[in-house]
Amino acid sequence: MRNIQANQITKSISELFTQCSYIIGDDIKDSIDTALKIEPSPIGRNTLLQISQNYDIAARERIAICQDTGMSVVFVELGQDVHIEGGQFEEAIQQGVREAYLHGYLRKSIVAEPLFERVNTKDNTPAVIHTRIVPGDKLKLTAVAKGFGSENMSALKMLVPADGIEGVKRFVLETVERAGPNPCPPIVVGLGIGGTFEQAALMAKEATALPLSRSNENPKYKQLEEELLTRINELGVGPGGTGGLTTALKVHIIYAPTHIAGLPVAVNICCHAARHASQIL
């Protein structure tokens, strides 16, 4: 048994959200800079250049990469030998979000209720928290600041087994093409394939926060990731949607066992401001 103080969790969450809002991952930055060298569209290159310069300015001045500092999503891997002391676990996370957004000059974008009043909670809480209990005595926290320009372009479809691999490809390509300029391309595409309705969506969201260098361990899924990336970039959407060959930086698939009658596919789109950061306590 290992004790972790609730206020350590709050501190970690606050730091993770501030850090990822100001500083883009090296993988994303490098990928944009590489695209800048090969993008044939002049307007597209100008867009990529602004995106790259924007990362530098945000990191240097410690200001938000994008004004939409997102809805806060937290993935937790909680070791079963961890005991949380000195406060409630989820409240400790919410407090971390509150501190990051109130003190870090981040925009508060959350409304308390979605349909009738839509009143802003003024501190970006509540965060969406997904917790998994895992072996061990560590606590891994992953903060994802999810912008809604790209979230709104995401889609889920309950395909049937007969739709097969071609059906999955078609749905992904249609979703990305229909999104066009709206999700601020270049994008990162997270795919959740299999499981149930909600599990597919959750896997897709997790997939958007994987490092760009990661590929699926299953060679068939790895190949599908690569083929989809190529075909998405051949759609011609381009940086900012004004045409070009850089539409996506990466396609990540996470898959899971599913029902004999089902083939759920979730496409979660993340913009080039793909903000996430992790810490292990």
Partner 1 sequence: MENIHLDLPLDEKTVRSLRAGDAVTLSGSIITGRDAAHKRLVDLIDQGKELPVDLNGQAIYYVGPAPASPGHAVGSAGPTTSYRMDVYTPKLLDLGLRAMIGKGLRSKEVVESMKKNGAVYFGAVGGAAALISRSIIASEVIAYPDLGAEAIHRFTIKDFPVIVIIDSEGNNLYESGPKLYKKTAL
Question: Which positions touch ligand SF4 (CB under 6 A)?
Answer: 66, 68, 147, 149-150, 183-184, 271, 273
- Strands (E) across the chain are located at 2-5, 71-79, 82-85, 128-134, 139-146, 155-159, 187-195, 248-258, 263-270, 275-280
* CB-based contacts of 29, cutoff 8 Å, min separation 6: 52, 55
Q: Interface with partner 1 by CB under 8 A: which range of 1-9, 90-98, 158-166, 229-237?
A: 229-237
Q: How far apart are CA 27 and CA 212, in angstroms?
A: 6
User: Given the complex with partner 1, which of 254 and 270 has the nearer CB atom?
Assistant: 270
Question: How far from chain centre, in Å, is Cα 85?
Answer: 30
Query: Quick one: which of 3, 50, 80, 223 contacts partner 1 (CB under 8 A)?
Result: 50
Closer to ligand SF4 by CB, 107 or 222: give it.
107
In the complex with ligand SF4, the residue whose CB is nearer, 48 or 271, is: 271
User: How far is the C-alpha of 272 from the C-alpha of 28, rounded, in Å?
Assistant: 7
In the range 12-41, which residues lie near partner 1 by CB under 8 A? Answer: 40-41
Q: Which is nearer to partner 1, 137 or 177 (CB)?
A: 177
Q: Which residue is nearest to ligand SF4 (CB)?
A: 147
Strands 71-79 and 139-146: antiparallel
Smallest distance, ligand SF4 to C-beta of residue 16, A: 17
Site for partner 1 in 125-144 (CB under 8 A): none
List the x/- string, 60-89, binding to partner 1 by CB under 8 A: -xxxxxxxxx--------------------
Handedness of CA 153, 158, 159, 165 (dihedral sign): positive
Selection from partner 1, ligand SF4, none that 42 binds (CB < 5 to 8 A by kind) is partner 1
Give min distance, CB of 183 to ligand SF4, in A.
Answer: 5
Enter the tokens of residue 125: 């809480």
Phi, psi of 92 (to 5 degrees): -65, -40
Phi, psi of 8 (to 5 degrees): -65, -40
Assess 124 for contact with partner 1 (CB under 8 A).
no
Question: Do residues 214 and 252 lie in contact, with contact meaning Cβ atoms separated by under 8 Å?
Answer: yes
Question: Could you give the CA distance from residue 24 to residue 55 in angstroms, rounded to a whole number?
Answer: 6
Residues 102-121 that bind partner 1 (CB under 8 A): 105-109, 120
- Closest by CA position to 90, among listed 109, 74, 66: 74
The residue within the footprint of partner 1, chosen from 74, 93, 139, 237 (CB under 8 A), is 237
Counting contacts by CB under 8 A, is residue 167 touching partner 1? Answer: no
Q: CA-CA distance, 57 to 72, in Å (whole number)?
A: 23
Within 13 Å, how many C-alpha atoms sit on residue 148's CB side? Answer: 8
Among ligand SF4, partner 1, none, what does residue 164 contact (CB within 5–8 Å per kind)? none
Provide the mask over 241-270, with x wherever binding to partner 1 is found by CB under 8 A and - wherever it is not: xxxxx-------------------------
Contacts with partner 1, residue ranges (CB under 8 A) = 40-43, 46-47, 50-51, 53-54, 57-58, 61-69, 105-109, 120, 122, 147, 149, 152, 170, 173-174, 177, 180-182, 184, 231, 234-238, 240-245, 271-273
